[in-house]
Amino acid sequence: METPILILHPPAESYVEVFETTILDRYRKKTHAYLSTSPEVPLKKLLVAGIGNCFSITKSFRNTEMQSNIHNPEFTMIEWYRIGVPYTEIMKDCEDLLLFIHTYLLRTREASDQQATKDLIYQGAHIDLSKPWERFTVSEVFLKWANVSFEEFLNFDTAKKIATKKGYRVEKDTSWEELYNQVFLNEIESHLGRGKPTILYEFPSSLAALAKTKAADPRVAERFEFYIEGLELGDCYSELTDWKEQEKRFGEELKAIKKSGGTTYEYDKDFIVALQSGLPECSGIAVGVDRLVMLFADTAKIQDTLLFPVEELL
Amino acid sequence: MMTDMTFVNPGKGSAFVRTKLKSLTSGKVIEFTFKSGESATELDVITREMQFLYKEGDAYVFMDNTSFEQYNIRETLLSDFVKYLRSNDTYQVLVLHDEAVGVRFPKKVWLKVTESSEGIKGNSSAGATKTVETETGAIVTVPLFIKEGDTIGIDPETGSYLERG
């Protein structure tokens, strides 16, 4: 599916800063517009309309995502949805997709190089892409690498105590999500996907605004990410189909955007109307195409996969 | 002292800052990710142009190009950069409370190849390569066309070959 880049209502996500622009009509009457941050909303509208399994490969834009080896404010995203399946099926898609790309590249290479290794090599490390990949829940990695009981960490007061004991700075306005990420980034992320891809699943619900919660434990959501050599490549949900819950979460996100001084906009009422007529049960994932190129071209910086990275234009 | 920083946006949530921190006493480098907005003390580090003179025991002796004062930098604080230091060349030296605490890595250092092995590592996807030794003793992986006596540009941060002079 080709989805629009120029949009009127970005999906309300407080952690994403948008690019703002203006549409002028013939009388130069102004309408606020934005550059798409992901093809999610148009694809879900098409799912409601009955398009079935679908995908989009498109440019997406996220402002302020600079000064980083794995972000460019303009990037390419592949997003796909499957109807009537849980997110565990998308995990298999990811395994198949990466194996397919790797096998294809090996075929084109082997003709000219008899000694080529069959492993994927990224930044000096050999990676075994064969199925099944390693699967860990967030709770498991917290115990394994941070020596933290996630059960206890889910309680904000306990999390503050654990973080303070570990030497992190906990201030009045420090949020639970910040503590979670700081432990994750400092103690866990670099261990993921070493020698073999890691699928990290069952995220805390508060970190999965558009995902369904797990029926047996509503504190965690059906969301997964996959990592290779510490590089995060994709983010998947069992999609939230409840329009009331979606509208509530958009409201909360917009409040958070206002509070943090980000660019404000109205949420997409048309999307809520679409959800009211029924989004089929489905799972979807977004994978960063530039990061896939980084992986298979063996580059440490996303800028090296782009002919005109934004930072070089400034 | 912070020697490197990059922003991180985890899938969900606010931004974080991943840094490399270097101990000014031991030279040890650790990685730490801060929450965006956390405060830190600013060090009074200034940069001075200095000429590298010679090595004396564990110390590398530099001379300030304007005051002609001499400064010693301990090997641990220079870490891998010692492989690229050439006598009489000028470097940006970091000075804290009148003590030299390190060198700001240039983007590129130019060094002469003094020894070139014939060993060939076949890897056609990246082009054929071999290793050479520079006048300062650094071992660098280069394309096959590099010969003894050539001057090559090296990225001291990664130790990788950039171009032929």
Please judge whether B12 and A207 are an interchain contact, meaning their C-beta atoms are less than 8 angstroms apart: yes
Query: Looking at the predicted structure, is the pLDDT value of residue B127 above 70?
Result: no
Q: What is the Cα–Cα distance from B92 to B104, expressed in whole angstroms?
A: 5
Please judge whether B125 and A116 are an interchain contact, meaning their C-beta atoms are less than 8 angstroms apart: yes
Mean per-residue pLDDT for A42-59?
96
For A51, the token pair is 């398009």
Say what the pLDDT of residue A46 is: 97
**A181 CB within 8 Å of a chain B CB:** yes
**Average pLDDT score, chain A:** 92
Query: Looking at the predicted structure, is the pLDDT value of residue B164 above 80?
Result: yes
Question: What ipTM was assigned to the predicted interfaces of this complex?
Answer: 0.70
Say what the pLDDT of residue A113 is: 59
Q: Which chain B residues touch A174 with a CB distance below 8 Å?
A: 35
pLDDT digits (tens, 9 = 90+) for B112-124: 999 887 655 554 4
Say what the pLDDT of residue A76 is: 97
Nearest Cα to A80, choosing from A68, A89, A69? A89
Q: What is the Cα–Cα distance from A236 to A221, expressed in whole angstroms?
A: 11
Mean per-residue pLDDT for A110-137?
82
Question: Which residues are within 8 A (CB) of B19 and not within 5 positions of it... i.e. 6 or more apart?
Answer: B2, B4, B5, B31, B32, B33, B34
Please judge whether A177 and B16 are an interchain contact, meaning their C-beta atoms are less than 8 angstroms apart: no
Number of Cβ within 10 Å of residue A119's Cβ equals: 14
For B72, the token pair is 């010693």
Q: What is the Cα–Cα distance from B43 to A295, expressed in whole angstroms?
A: 37
Mean per-residue pLDDT for A50-65?
95
Query: Looking at the predicted structure, is the pLDDT value of residue A213 above 60?
Result: yes
Number of Cβ within 10 Å of residue A226's Cβ equals: 27
Mean per-residue pLDDT for B43-47?
88
CA distances from A22 to A31, A61, A258 (A): 6, 16, 20
The region of weakest confidence among A59-73, B58-72, B108-122 is: B108-122
Question: Model pTM?
Answer: 0.80
Q: Which chain B residues touch A203 with a CB distance below 8 Å?
A: 12
Interface with chain A: mutation pick from B4, B6, B9, highest number of A CBs within 10 Å: B9
Please judge whether A182 and B14 are an interchain contact, meaning their C-beta atoms are less than 8 angstroms apart: no
Say what the pLDDT of residue B121 is: 53
Please report where in the chains the tokens 């980034």 appear, as a residue: A185
Q: What is the Cα–Cα distance from B153 to B133, expressed in whole angstroms?
A: 13
The region of weakest confidence among A166-180, A229-243, B105-119 is: B105-119
Query: Looking at the predicted structure, is the pLDDT value of residue A111 above 70?
Result: no
pLDDT digits (tens, 9 = 90+) for A8-25: 999 888 888 999 999 999
Please judge whether A181 and B6 are an interchain contact, meaning their C-beta atoms are less than 8 angstroms apart: no
